């Protein structure tokens, strides 16, 4: 059976995980002072607020009609090299940001699982 890097590290550090170090309650006091997920809640509320504002502006300024007009114009006309380049760069940036976000979520889940 081939072990992955994470499995090898877990096996290597398993004895250290079982070990306890006497610190006169220092670790417990530190853990009590760490804020409990309040920043995550605030971040989620901020995200919900921004999405709601963006949705409202999209409706107020008739965004769907603007998007449909833009797509129709793009399909009817002969796109230039510059417009195709801008489209490719935009799509590339969006894919890159999505990839970074997904890999950071996977890394965070693995970190949480190891603790």
Digits of tens for pLDDT over the chain (115 positions)?
566 788 888 888 888 877 777 888 888 888 888 877 666 778 888 889 999 999 999 999 988 888 888 778 777 877 777 777 888 899 999 999 999 888 887 766 665 555 5
State the Cα–Cα distance between residues 47 and 53, nearest whole angstrom: 10
Rounded to whole angstroms, what are the CA distances from 114 to 9, 18, 61?
10, 13, 48
What pTM was computed for the model?
0.39
């Amino acid at each position: 059976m081939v072990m992955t890097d994470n499995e090898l590290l877990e096996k290597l550090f398993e004895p250290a995980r079982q070990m306890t170090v006497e610190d006169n309650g220092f670790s417990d006091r530190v853990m009590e002072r760490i804020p409990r997920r309040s920043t995550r809640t605030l971040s989620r509320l901020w995200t919900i607020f921004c999405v709601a504002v963006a949705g409202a502006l999209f409706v107020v300024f008739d965004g769907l009609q603007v998007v449909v007009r833009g797509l129709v114009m793009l399909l009817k006309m002969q796109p230039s090299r510059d417009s195709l380049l801008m489209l490719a760069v935009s799509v590339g940036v969006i894919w890159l940001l999505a990839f970074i976000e997904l890999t950071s979520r996977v890394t965070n889940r693995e970190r949480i699982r190891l603790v």
